[in-house]
């Protein structure tokens, strides 16, 4: 029993910490820590800097830029990235489509797509969900019919995050109408410039426009863009969904936000004292911190158990991390909004928050508080809702 990292691991942590805090511009990190969404340019710039230094895709196979790090190293890398406020490399590229192509794609696809995905030369988006296929993803109805050496795709995807920036869409489509639900699905790569694709933004309740509907009308896709085998797409989708493991708890994000809450609570006044000196507030903050510490320990247990193991099979314990991690992120959002108090009420449109000549309304940290609280309700919905995670734990761990 030993809670300490080895000297090598400590040295590794210091190295990534130094990298993130010196190579990624402080203004990008400060903005991100403050709850603002990174712009397209900032995300591209950050990921390219990371890629140039071998930090964009360390979990990929070595020949495509991976680093063969241990699970502990991957953990430390994520944690340091989050604590420093570095925008994560685009998950659609590095955590989703990249690993699928690396594992199931052919050589030509790997050569064509992986280096560009790592360097964000292509921006990918995820076309899984449909209006009728959310939690029950396998009921999706978008079809691809084979015509010569092409597929012709018809249907509608929805909730497609950042499709407005995307060059490519990785998409689940139905290629066999007669087969059972899961068995007629294929995984296909679609160039967003292809004729017949319409992207319509969906405004979310926080005022942002990060999700979209994507309509596909007689979209002709070269058959060479099929990943793996026809009708085996469901296996690849499961691989993809089970892939984002240790990072999913985002403990570092919550730790960074708690530090910010402490800082803001020392600026806010509660009668004669700073809010941070109010006993009830301190106890509430401590309560969230304790739960987060427990989650960090749980995550470290998962990480330690995986050390030295080849990654591959999704670990049902990752459902615990998702469940608790999402709820604690939301708890920190609530706490931050409570710290801000009455000045959480003014609404400043996202476009006006940065680069505006108008002085802020109230303290300059207030504008993001409520929108962030609203926005992050999503984290218990997407990536397999918390109810679906509970179903997984009930089945895979408790044996019901």
Partner 1 sequence: MDFDLNEDQRLLRDSVERLVTDRYGFEQRKAFLSQPDGFSREMWKQYAELGLLGVPFAEEHGGFGGGPVETMIVMEAFGRGLVVEPYLATVILGGGLIRYAGSEAQQAEMLPKIVGGEMLVAFAHVERHSRYELHNVATKAERDGDGWVLSGDKGVVLHGDSADCLLVTARVSGGQRDRDGIGLFLVRADTPGVTRRGYPTQDGLRAAEISFDRARAETVGEPGAVLPHIERVVDEAIAAICAESIGVMTEMQTTTVDYMKTRKQFGRAIGEFQALQHRAVDMYVDLEQARSMALYATVMASSDDAVARRLAASAAKVQIGRSGRKIGQETIQLHGGIAMTAEYKIGHYFKRMTMIDILFGDADRHLAEVAAHGSVFA
Ligand X SMILES: Cc1cc2nc3c(=O)[nH]c(=O)nc-3n(C[C@H](O)[C@H](O)[C@H](O)COP(=O)(O)OP(=O)(O)OC[C@H]3O[C@@H](n4cnc5c(N)ncnc54)[C@H](O)[C@@H]3O)c2cc1C
- Active-site residue set: 244
- CB closer to partner 1 out of 106 and 266: 266
Measured distance between the N- and C-terminal CA atoms of the chain, rounded to whole angstroms? 32
141 burial via Cβ count (<10 Å: 0-12, 13-18, 19+): middle
Cα separation, 72 vs 77, in Å, equals: 9
> Which of ligand X, partner 1, none is residue 177 near (CB under 5 to 8 Å by kind)?
none
Cα separation, 323 vs 344, in Å, equals: 27
Phi, psi of 196 (to 5 degrees): 100, 0
Could you identify the residue written with the tokens 């712009």?
Answer: 39
Whether 233 and 185 have beta carbons less than 8 Å apart is answered as yes
> Which of ligand X, partner 1, none is residue 342 near (CB under 5 to 8 Å by kind)?
partner 1
Question: CB neighbours of 398 closer than 8 A, spacing ≥ 6?
Answer: none
- CB closer to ligand X out of 132 and 346: 132
Phi, psi of 220 (to 5 degrees): -90, 120
Phi, psi of 100 (to 5 degrees): -65, -45
Whether 242 and 169 have beta carbons less than 8 Å apart is answered as no
> Which of partner 1, ligand X, none is residue 142 near (CB under 5 to 8 Å by kind)?
none
Q: How far is the CB of 2 from ligand X (least distance, A)?
A: 39
- CB closer to partner 1 out of 245 and 378: 378
Binding site for partner 1 (CB under 8 A): 129, 132, 134-136, 139, 158-159, 202-205, 207, 211, 268-272, 275, 280-281, 284, 330, 334, 337-338, 341-348, 361-363, 370-371, 373-374, 377-378, 380-382, 385-387, 390
> Which of ligand X, partner 1, none is residue 128 near (CB under 5 to 8 Å by kind)?
ligand X
Q: How far is the CB of 323 from partner 1 (least distance, A)?
A: 12
Q: How far is the CB of 201 from partner 1 (least distance, A)?
A: 10
Distances (CA, A) of 110 to 45, 61, 78, 189, 227: 23, 11, 25, 12, 10
Phi, psi of 162 (to 5 degrees): 55, 30
Q: How far is the CB of 161 from ligand X (least distance, A)?
A: 3
- CB closer to ligand X out of 214 and 261: 214
Question: CB neighbours of 215 closer than 8 A, spacing ≥ 6?
Answer: 156, 197, 198, 199, 200
- CB closer to partner 1 out of 1 and 398: 398
Question: CB neighbours of 385 closer than 8 A, spacing ≥ 6?
Answer: 135
Binding site for ligand X (CB under 6 A): 126-129, 134-135, 159-161, 211, 378, 381-382, 385, 387-388, 391
> Which of ligand X, partner 1, none is residue 259 near (CB under 5 to 8 Å by kind)?
none
Please report, to the nearest 10 degrees, the dihedral formed by the alpha carbons of residues 17, 19, 25, 31 taken in order: -30
Whether 217 and 151 have beta carbons less than 8 Å apart is answered as no
Q: How far is the CB of 209 from partner 1 (least distance, A)?
A: 9
Cα separation, 400 vs 393, in Å, equals: 9
Q: Closest-CB residue for ligand X? A: 134
Q: How far is the CB of 276 from partner 1 (least distance, A)?
A: 13
- CB closer to ligand X out of 164 and 298: 164
Token code pair at residue 351 = 């476009």
- CB closer to ligand X out of 221 and 276: 221
Alpha-carbon 324 to chain mean position? 16
> Which of partner 1, ligand X, none is residue 161 near (CB under 5 to 8 Å by kind)?
ligand X
> Which of ligand X, partner 1, none is residue 361 near (CB under 5 to 8 Å by kind)?
partner 1
Measured at the CA of 244, the angle between CA 171 and CA 34, to 5 degrees, comes to 100
């Amino acid at each position: 029993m030993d809670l300490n990292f080895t000297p090598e691991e400590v040295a590794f942590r210091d190295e990534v910490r130094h990298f993130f805090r010196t190579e990624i511009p402080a203004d990008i990190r400060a903005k991100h820590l403050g709850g603002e969404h990174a712009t397209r340019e900032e995300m591209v710039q950050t990921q390219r800097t990371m890629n140039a230094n071998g930090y964009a895709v360390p979990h990929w196979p070595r020949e495509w830029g991976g680093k063969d790090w241990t699970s502990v190293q991957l953990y430390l890398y994520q944690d340091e990235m989050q604590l420093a406020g570095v925008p994560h490399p685009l998950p659609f590229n590095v955590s989703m489509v990249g690993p699928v192509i690396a594992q199931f794609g052919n050589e030509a696809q790997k050569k064509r797509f992986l280096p560009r995905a790592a360097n964000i030369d292509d921006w990918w988006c995820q076309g899984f969900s449909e209006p009728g296929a959310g939690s029950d993803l396998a009921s999706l109805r978008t079809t691809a019919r084979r015509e010569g050496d092409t597929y012709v795709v018809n249907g509608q995807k929805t909730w497609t995050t950042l499709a407005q920036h995307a060059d490519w869409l990785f998409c689940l489509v139905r290629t066999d109408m007669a087969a059972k639900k899961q068995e007629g699905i294929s995984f296909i790569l679609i160039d967003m410039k292809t004729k017949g694709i319409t992207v319509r933004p969906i405004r979310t309740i926080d005022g942002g426009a990060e999700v979209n509907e994507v309509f596909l009308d007689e979209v002709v896709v070269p058959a060479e863009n099929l990943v793996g085998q026809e009708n085996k797409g469901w296996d690849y989708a499961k691989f993809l969904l089970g892939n984002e493991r240790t990072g999913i708890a985002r403990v570092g994000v919550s730790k960074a936000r708690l530090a910010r809450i402490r800082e803001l609570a020392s600026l806010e006044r509660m009668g004669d004292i700073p809010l941070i000196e109010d006993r009830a507030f301190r106890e509430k903050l401590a309560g969230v911190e304790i739960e987060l510490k427990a989650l960090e320990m749980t995550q470290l247990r998962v990480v330690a158990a995986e050390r030295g193991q080849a990654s591959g099979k999704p670990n049902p314990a990752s459902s615990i991390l998702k469940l608790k991690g999402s709820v604690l992120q939301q708890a920190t959002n609530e706490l931050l909004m409570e710290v801000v108090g009455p000045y959480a009420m003014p609404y400043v449109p996202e476009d006006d928050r940065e680069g505006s000549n108008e002085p802020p309304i109230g303290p300059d940290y207030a504008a993001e508080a409520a929108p962030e609280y609203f926005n992050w309700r999503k984290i218990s919905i997407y990536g397999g809702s918390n109810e679906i995670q509970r179903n997984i734990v009930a089945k895979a761990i408790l044996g019901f």
